Amino acid sequence: MRNAYSKLGTDFPTTEQIEKELKREQYRISFRRVLRSTIGILITVAAVAILVAVLLLPVLQIYGKSMNPTLEEGDIVVTVKGSEFQTGDVIAFYYNNKILVKRVIANPGDWVDLDEEGTVYVNNVKIEEPYLQEKAYGETNIKLPYQVPESKIFVMGDNRDYSVDSRNTAVGCVAEEQIVGKIIFRVWPLKAFGQIGIETAKN
């Protein structure tokens, strides 16, 4: 039999060759397993990131001039969900199928008043507004002093002469269910990258 195989030119693989081939096959199987696991992890991480972005940290792009100079058209910001807001916080909220961005001035039950120059008083106390470039009475048609209704927030844009906000019945106060979240961070443009707060304003 040995001579017959030799005449046909058939050589059996050596033990060493078999071991090498087994190791190569094991490596391929192991590599595929690791690759599938890695892809699975990446897909899971991406899905979680998308859920967080949509549900907890919505990303928004600013349109319009009502929040100048703090925020300008084209800025991209990150918001965080929440239900408690302080005077000076910047929030995003739904209005007529759009998302508006304004600054919190007063909370439910507070009394809001403005003088002719646009100085704002909450509960008879003048509020400090370092984020403003200039004050303005603006588009105000509510009867002052004005008490903020329950479960609502009184908001104003930083560009007081341009912004239509809670000073006008066209927009009014913001209900809790309208609120998208508090704007905490600007991510674009890079030169303005940073936290958004009471002191924040572009120069």
Structure-token pair, residue 172 = 């009014």
Spot the catalytic one: 30, 66, 98, 182. 66
What is the per-residue burial (b if ≥16 Cβ within 10 Å, else e) of 20-38? Answer: eeeeeeeeeeeeeeeeeee
Q: What is the dihedral of CA 107, 99, 192, 45, to 10 degrees?
A: 100
Catalytic, 66? Answer yes
- DSSP annotation string for 32-73: HHHHHHHHHHHHHHHHHHHHIIIIIS-EEE--SSTTTTTS-T
- From 140, 145, 143, select the one nearest 156 (Cα to Cα): 140
Catalytic, 166? Answer no
Structure-token pair, residue 19 = 């071991």
Spot the catalytic one: 6, 102, 166, 182. 102
* Distance of alpha carbon 191 from alpha carbon 197, whole angstroms: 17
CB 86 within 8 A of CB 147: no
Structure-token pair, residue 28 = 């391929």
Task: Tell me the catalytic residues.
Answer: 66, 102
